[in-house]
Amino acid sequence: MRGEHAGYVYGAALGFLGDLIAADPRRGHPVAAFGRAAAAVERRLWRDHRGYGAAHAVLCAGGAAAGAALLERAVRGSASASLLSLRGGARVALTAATVWAVLGGTSLGREARAVGGALTAGDLDVARERLPHLCGRDPQALDGPQMARAVVESVAENTSDAVVGALVWGALGGVPGLVAFRAVNTLDAMVGHKSPRYRRFGWAAARLDDLAGWPGSRLTAALTVLAGPDRRGALRAWRADGGAHPSPNAGPVEASFAGALGVRLGGRLAYGGRVEDRPVLNGAAPPVAVPDIERAVRLSRRVNVLALVTTVAARAAVGAARAAAARGAGARGTVTAAARGAGARGRVAGSVRRRAAGPV
């Protein structure tokens, strides 16, 4: 496996472990810094127009990805450098730090359990206070069972957005892929909703997020089928209801979680000052109960681990295939060079024999 691929594999594993141990910092998170920068750009660019919104999305996400690419190039060094070398170690450290910064699986579980604990204790005020840490729904419009459902749906969707999608784009594009995905996802959370201010300005960010989230959401749904307690139920709900959700990426994930956990998701919700009636997912199952929050968190953790294994294995396989192709090309070049050398020696020997024989 080439050095750059090995560096990503080891760095991704270390970054994933870092998220498990340290989670997100309360202050000074790099994603929060990006959000502040994007908000500053928005204040200068905002117009009630899709074109200005597209410029905002390209400038913010593209700028973040370009900066990450320059940083990665600065520490990459030779592709054949040993992982134990200074450059190799810097490459691993950069990948690990970036993976830790863009993943949010541990914080997701922590916030979900905080709401679940408050609901278990019957403290709806605390649950309503913590719910906005997970989703943008109006907590004052929700009772206990509705908040439990909101938590499970948020855990399902953010398993893809906060972990699996980032790992997919990291495997595809390295550090720039990780940063670009998180930047796009953050922009969607900031401006990609259908409020009067962002209906047109946030359109580009929302569509870009749909595109970026597509591979991660499908991998999340597939791994949910593998990791869930009810595999057949997860697959059945995904196939039957995944396309009914208004979000092309949240639908497969939430439907597969609903089937795997044996609960009913979807229906009416209050979001952004309006009420929506969304399609019901896995409608034959009972509604979400508070203990299902813990079950959803555990399922999310299993899916996250499988996603890490899947993506780093794919990256390692690509690296091994490229290394084998390079060795094959080198061997063919050696054989060709040897053949050319033998031919040249044969021509020289023939010329010498002709000169020795003299004129006929």
Q: Are 151 and 131 in contact (CB under 8 A)?
A: yes
C-beta of residue 201 within 8 angstroms of C-beta of residue 52? yes
∠ Cα 241 152 185 (to 5°): 80
**Do the beta carbons of residue 13 and residue 99 sit within 8 Å?**
no
- Provide the residue type at 65 as one letter: A
pLDDT in tens, the chain (360 residues): 555 678 899 999 999 999 999 888 878 889 999 999 999 999 999 999 999 999 999 999 999 999 999 999 888 765 455 565 656 788 899 999 999 999 999 999 999 999 999 999 999 999 999 999 998 888 988 899 999 999 999 999 999 999 999 999 999 999 999 999 999 999 999 999 888 999 999 999 999 999 999 999 999 999 999 999 999 999 999 999 999 999 999 999 999 999 999 999 999 887 766 777 889 999 999 999 999 999 999 999 999 999 999 999 999 998 788 777 777 776 666 555 555 655 555 554 555 445 445 544
Neighbours of 291 (CB within 10 A): 12
DSSP conformation letters of 119-137: HHTT-HHHHHHHGGGT--B
pLDDT of amino acid 360: 43
Residue whose structure tokens are 């024989």: 357
